[in-house]
Amino acid sequence: MTVLRTDTAPKAAPGAAEFPTGFVWGAATAAYQVEGAAAEDGRTPSIWDTFSHTPGKVRNGDTGDIAADHYHRYRDDVALMKRLGLTAYRFSVSWPRVQPTGRGPAVERGLDFYRRLVDELLEAGITPVATLYHWDLPQDLEDAGGWPQRVTAERFADYADIMAGALGDRVGTWTTLNEPWCSAFLGYGSGVHAPGRTEPAAALRAAHHLNLAHGRATEVLRDRLPATAQISVTLNLHHVRPLTGSAADADAARRIDAVGNRIFTGPMLHGAYPEDLIADTERLVDWPELVHDGDPAVISRPVDVLGVNYYTPTLVSTPADGAGDTRDDGHGNSDHSPWPGSEHVAFHLAEGRERTAMNWAIDPDGLYDLLMDVARDNPGLPLMVTENGAAFDDYVSPEGRVEDPERIEYLRGHLDAVRRAIAAGADVRGYFLWSLMDNFEWGYGYSKRFGAVYVDYATQRRIPKASAHWYADVIRRQRRMGALPEG
């Protein structure tokens, strides 16, 4: 069993320009975005199957039915990872593929796919990093109420037990949840993600039960896995900045930090929900009724590493009239806010910066600042950048190449931000590029390409982009001497 070691800090190699020896170089995907095979080998619908098949929910009516066909092409994809020199691959497990209704026994055919994938990775010398939940709740559980219901956290613990039993002998690094903020607030608040509900109180209840699911799964994994196993959670922490130096804008930043970040880091890492979050949202939810005795202790079970996902900073203000009619928050278009209790806060696009195809400002300093903030607030906790990347309007040239110099510059700047954070004392142990390959980009369907590898969806041909070759060169050089290559 291969483990991403986080119990001993990696030692910096000679030379200030270098990453630490033992630094993890990876790429990431998610099950519904790449696997396809949506109805094969016993898999039943997840909330994303239902959502994507609902007219008007996903651009162009796209679905993940086939996606990048990773379910059938995983061997070729692992061979491609090996050629790129990846030392780790972060993938997620499709909950309805292994436990179709979210209850009861596993489907062995579904488990077998992940066994084969992990064996292929290990044979290639690539460390598997398994994420239990990347948004694909079994539809049966949503029909019973979904994440706003406390029982869903218990079902998740049962699922974690199944996966630990199936892969615990060969997967040494586990992530409970990926970006629970999106699951709770885009899924149940603004409705731009599955299951598409627009209920502020339900979004807050979902956030608590996702926290509880993380804690319960952590308990199960600790009990079932070898003592050497590493357990983590991945959060898309918002690097929040006030638009001006006014007290009103500072309060706007505080509010968004509370419902965007501390609603998870508070109970997970410090054992309590922030008092200001409770004050901001108490008109929507009865916190004493929601949080049972003993919940904070369960939620705050220690993790070995914290995953940090970052793409762009968040710029906010409080309008003078108190009514926020601007919401360029980067989280899709909806008449309903994903910020319960702080719906009046206005969001802004940063001026004077290059943008990705998602219209997100490119700001590597935001990643540096975020890592330093997290390191300061959680001394001694190892960090991993578990997602970082950018979408651009990529195309195949007549010569059959995909040139993406904008992505190379994006990655160069953000890797340098990681390196600067390490030099300044942040204990960052690795970096996972989002994404290994182009895939189903949730509500945007196949219109946005984040991959280092281009996917021709008509033929499923994989074409490594210039950025993939650049990243491979980074890995080779860093493993040798620590210098970033020129473009």
pLDDT computed for residue 327 by the predictor: 80
pLDDT computed for residue 322 by the predictor: 52
Q: In tens digits, what is the pLDDT along the chain, a chain of 487 residues?
A: 656 655 444 443 323 347 999 999 999 999 999 999 999 999 999 999 999 999 999 999 999 999 999 999 999 999 999 999 999 999 999 999 999 999 999 999 999 999 999 999 999 999 999 999 999 999 999 999 999 999 999 999 999 999 999 999 999 999 999 999 999 999 999 999 999 999 999 999 999 999 999 999 999 999 999 999 999 999 999 999 999 999 999 999 999 999 999 999 999 999 999 999 999 999 999 999 999 999 999 999 999 999 999 999 999 999 987 555 568 899 999 999 999 999 999 999 988 889 999 999 999 999 999 999 999 999 999 999 999 999 999 999 999 999 999 999 999 999 999 999 999 999 999 999 999 999 999 999 999 999 999 999 999 999 999 999 999 999 999 888 655 555 4
Tokens 């994404």, residue?
435
| Strand partners of residue 453 | 437, 464
Radius of gyration of the chain (CA): 21
CB 132 within 8 A of CB 175: yes
CB 192 within 8 A of CB 132: no
CB 79 within 8 A of CB 139: no
Sheet holding 240-242, edge to edge: 240-242, 314-317, 346-348
- Six token digits for residue 32: 């519904």
Task: Report the C-alpha gap between 433 and 414 in whole angstroms.
Answer: 10
- Six token digits for residue 128: 């598997």
Count of residues in the chain: 487
pLDDT computed for residue 323 by the predictor: 54
Task: Report the C-alpha gap between 299 and 270 in whole angstroms.
Answer: 9
Q: What are phi and psi of 66, to 5 degrees?
A: -115, -40
- Six token digits for residue 13: 């190699």
Catalytic sites, residue numbers: 179, 387
Tokens 């409705």, residue?
191
> What is the three-state SS of 374-396?
HHHHCCCCCEEEEECCCCECCCC
| Strand partners of residue 242 | 316
Task: Report the C-alpha gap between 244 and 258 in whole angstroms.
Answer: 19
pLDDT computed for residue 480 by the predictor: 80
- Nearest Cα neighbor of 457 from 124, 28, 11, 63 is 63
Task: Report the C-alpha gap between 179 and 434 in whole angstroms.
Answer: 14
Contacts of 88 (CB under 8 A, 6+ apart): 4, 24, 25, 26, 126, 127, 128, 129, 173, 430, 432
CB 450 within 8 A of CB 390: yes
- Nearest Cα neighbor of 427 from 10, 1, 118 is 10
